[in-house]
Amino acid sequence: MSNIDTLSVNSLRVLAADAVQKANSGHPGLPLGAAAMAYELWANHMNHNPKDPKWSNRDRFVLSGGHGSALLYSLLHLFGYGNLSTKDLASFRQLDSLTPGHPEYGHTVGVEATTGPLGAGMAMAVGMAMAEAHLAAKFNKEGYPVVDHYTFALGGDGCMMEGISYESMSLAGTLGLGKLIVLYDSNKISIEGNTDIAFREDVAKRFEAFGFQTLVVEDGNNLEEISAAIKAAKADTTRPALITVKTKIGFGSPREGMASAHGEPLGADNVKALKEKLGFPVDKDFYVPEEVYQHIEEINKKSEKAEAEWNQMFAQYVKAYPELKELWDKYHDENIGEDLLENQEFWAFPDKPEATRNLSGMVINRIKDLVPGFVGGSADLSPSTKTYMKDEGDFSKEDYSGRNLHFGVRELAMTGIGNGLALHGGLKPFVSTFFVFSDYVKPMARLSAIMGLPTTFVLTHDSIGVGEDGPTHEPIEQLAMLRSMPNFTVFRPADATETIAGWYYAITSKKTPTALVLTRQNLPQYAGSSKEALKGGYVIAPSKKEVPDAIIIASGSEVEISVKAKEELKKEGIDVRVVSMPSTDLFDMQSKEYKEKVLPKNVRARVAVEAAADFGWGKYVGLDGATVTMKSFGASAPAGELFKKFGFTTENVVATVKSVL
């Protein structure tokens, strides 16, 4: 271990400790303990070019233990990513700084994923490794490994305890993702104390059970040992690798080995003691010896050269395989699919009653031909969610070119992996499960929304329409759960046109994930449905008068009884407008004028009809309106009986409208 290496590692430590201390907030424990492995990886094993952070063939690095952000920022600073300065480090965790409390994708150059919720980075890394494997299978030719990189994830005991890391790593092992390497910062300390209180698991053995190569670094400060392990991990490309690196939390500080080193500043005295111990000047903050900067500059020269070589190869590849270059551009075209708006074949549908899940399946099989980077799958439910892409093969250990992904019964990992697929670049992923299981999807869907990833969620079996499977399988409050999330669009179509509109929105979305919420049961087609659905809410059945006596607002399967109720009320001389509202999110974004046109403020007799919790409808029906909604969990019976039992009948809608007149 050379002096300059030691100095570099300790520079990372001191920068991180200073950042946390200056902010008087943050987590010094991981940065001090894991600085050596991070340095060794970034300096000597990762194929990346800080000058070009978006180089498509760079190795990916995900700090799954996102609370160790001070380490990541220190690395980004030393390696020169985005010119992140010591001033930026000194603004750690301050308003509008480039160095927020947890790493934020799209905010700080060089951050590959937003992390913080433990284990999430593990799933995202699996997604990135799957993307790499898929794109390599699609594009690489002999002598032209244009897609050929590793994905590294670094996480600690917390990441290992979270279910998502088991789920995703079990799948990674199954798929033999040989270019996925997990660095396990094993320090035996959790917030409540020694990990023995809750986590005595033999982690390496577990990963062996998953089909991983497992390696151990006994001394987490020994760069040679770390280096040897990473080399061995890289050499085995048939299995993903777990490297257990034994570390000491808060290394070098007086709080070394203590739970208190995890999540609070060390204190000025302890930072001083740390600097003294590491031989750094105690009176200087954010100090890095000049020779460290020079050392990293030398390393970066090699990195630049690596990318230059790749660029050269790619240029030859383009000449040798012009048709693949064309395809490559399609994969990387952010605006792909936009012309579908005027594509009549895309908007065509058979005019008969149909379940929106089936219609979605039809659209998926259209999109696959038009958007080659479109990949996805389900958490072991594709025969039910109708998400299988015909003739596109299955992504498996034996063949990574398949576009149908099999996630197993792992909704949470699926969603995290979906994020990783999207983060990697080149792919447009969708994931799928029953709508009720969006409960499991939620934590990672939130990360999709925070990161602004346009992943599509195909969520079928959308209400008590599920029928016999009963309350555990019948979504009630899930619409409210997803609609209430910022930067997340929920779309619950009523028929074929609206289903196609939902998919059009989803596939062309740039920065917002979309959930398509679809029925198990057949729904009719409406004469009044149109591309106006893209506005979220629109008049699907107009009143005779310009100002109606009442407005019924409905979504999805409940548009049917709403339109029928309108007809019934007409017989009684009550003139009703029916508004189809597939997406409250999109409707809320329309102009004031448009919203007033659809829902005139002076019409107070309003009824919302939706086979879900009424939560959120008050905004549209106000204090004088009413709702026909679910007041409880569902029940187990044939769907038709349930709709009756819970009041989703034309008669009840009619009566409710009358009650607010």
- Are 620 and 585 in contact by the 8 Å Cβ rule? The answer is no
Least distance from a copy of itself to the Cβ atom of residue 343, Å? 31
DSSP 416-448: HHHHHHHHHSS-EEEEEEEGGGHHHHHHHHHHH
- Member of 312, 316, 472, 659 binding a copy of itself (CB under 8 A): 472
| Rounded-to-integer distance, Cα 628 and Cα 329, Å | 49
* Using rule CB under 8 A, residue 190 touches a copy of itself: yes
| Rounded-to-integer distance, Cα 215 and Cα 551, Å | 65
Stretch that binds a copy of itself, among 34-42, 171-179, 238-246, 302-310 (CB under 8 A): 171-179
* Using rule CB under 8 A, residue 641 touches a copy of itself: yes
Helix (H) or strand (E) holding 245: strand 241-246
| Rounded-to-integer distance, Cα 150 and Cα 113, Å | 15
- Member of 617, 643, 646, 648 binding a copy of itself (CB under 8 A): 617
- Member of 442, 525, 528, 549 binding a copy of itself (CB under 8 A): 442
In terms of C-beta distances under 8 Å and separation of at least 24 residues, what long-range contacts does 394-400 make, across chains too?
A: 395/130, 395/134, 395/175, 396/175, 397/174, 397/175, 397/176, 399/137, 400/130, 400/133, 400/134, 400/136, 400/137
| Rounded-to-integer distance, Cα 229 and Cα 225, Å | 6
- Member of 447, 550, 609, 611 binding a copy of itself (CB under 8 A): 447
Least distance from a copy of itself to the Cβ atom of residue 409, Å? 4
Least distance from a copy of itself to the Cβ atom of residue 469, Å? 5
* Using rule CB under 8 A, residue 372 touches a copy of itself: no
Is 552 assigned to a binding site?
no
End-to-end CA distance of the chain: 82
Is 117 assigned to a binding site?
yes
Q: Scan residues 21-50 and list those touching a copy of itself (CB under 8 A).
A: 23, 25-26
Is 2 assigned to a binding site?
no
* Using rule CB under 8 A, residue 173 touches a copy of itself: yes
- Member of 56, 237, 358, 396 binding a copy of itself (CB under 8 A): 396
- Member of 358, 366, 615, 649 binding a copy of itself (CB under 8 A): 615
| Rounded-to-integer distance, Cα 492 and Cα 517, Å | 5
Active-site annotation holder among 162, 225, 307, 411: 411
Q: Which residues contact 537 (CB under 8 A, 6 or more apart)?
A: 553, 579, 580, 581, 582, 583, 584, 586, 587, 590, 598, 599
Least distance from a copy of itself to the Cβ atom of residue 174, Å? 4
- Member of 383, 510, 572, 591 binding a copy of itself (CB under 8 A): 383
- Are 616 and 483 in contact by the 8 Å Cβ rule? The answer is yes
Q: Quick one: 428 or 446, whose CB is closer to a copy of itself?
A: 446
Helix (H) or strand (E) holding 609: strand 606-613
Q: Scan residues 65-124 and list those touching a copy of itself (CB under 8 A).
A: 66, 93-97, 100-102, 104, 114-119
Stretch that binds a copy of itself, among 331-339, 504-512, 549-557, 612-620 (CB under 8 A): 612-620
**Within 236-289, where are the H helices?**
268-278
Stretch that binds a copy of itself, among 155-163, 242-250, 346-354, 561-569 (CB under 8 A): 155-163
The yes-or-no answer on residue 192 being catalytic is no
- Member of 34, 180, 229, 381 binding a copy of itself (CB under 8 A): 381
Stretch that binds a copy of itself, among 80-88, 204-212, 217-225, 548-556 (CB under 8 A): 204-212
* Using rule CB under 8 A, residue 473 touches a copy of itself: yes
Stretch that binds a copy of itself, among 11-19, 76-84, 198-206, 538-546 (CB under 8 A): 198-206
| Rounded-to-integer distance, Cα 517 and Cα 479, Å | 9
* Using rule CB under 8 A, residue 469 touches a copy of itself: yes
Maximum CA extent, the chain: 90
- Are 320 and 313 in contact by the 8 Å Cβ rule? The answer is no
Q: Which residues contact 238 (CB under 8 A, 6 or more apart)?
A: 176, 178
- SS3 letters for 105-121? CCCCCCCCCCCCCCCHH
Q: Quick one: 1 or 161, whose CB is closer to a copy of itself?
A: 161
Least distance from a copy of itself to the Cβ atom of residue 565, Å? 22
* Using rule CB under 8 A, residue 616 touches a copy of itself: yes
| Rounded-to-integer distance, Cα 106 and Cα 129, Å | 20
- Which residue numbers are catalytic? 411
Annotated binding-site positions: 27, 67, 116-118, 157-158, 187, 189, 262, 357, 384, 437, 461, 469, 473, 520
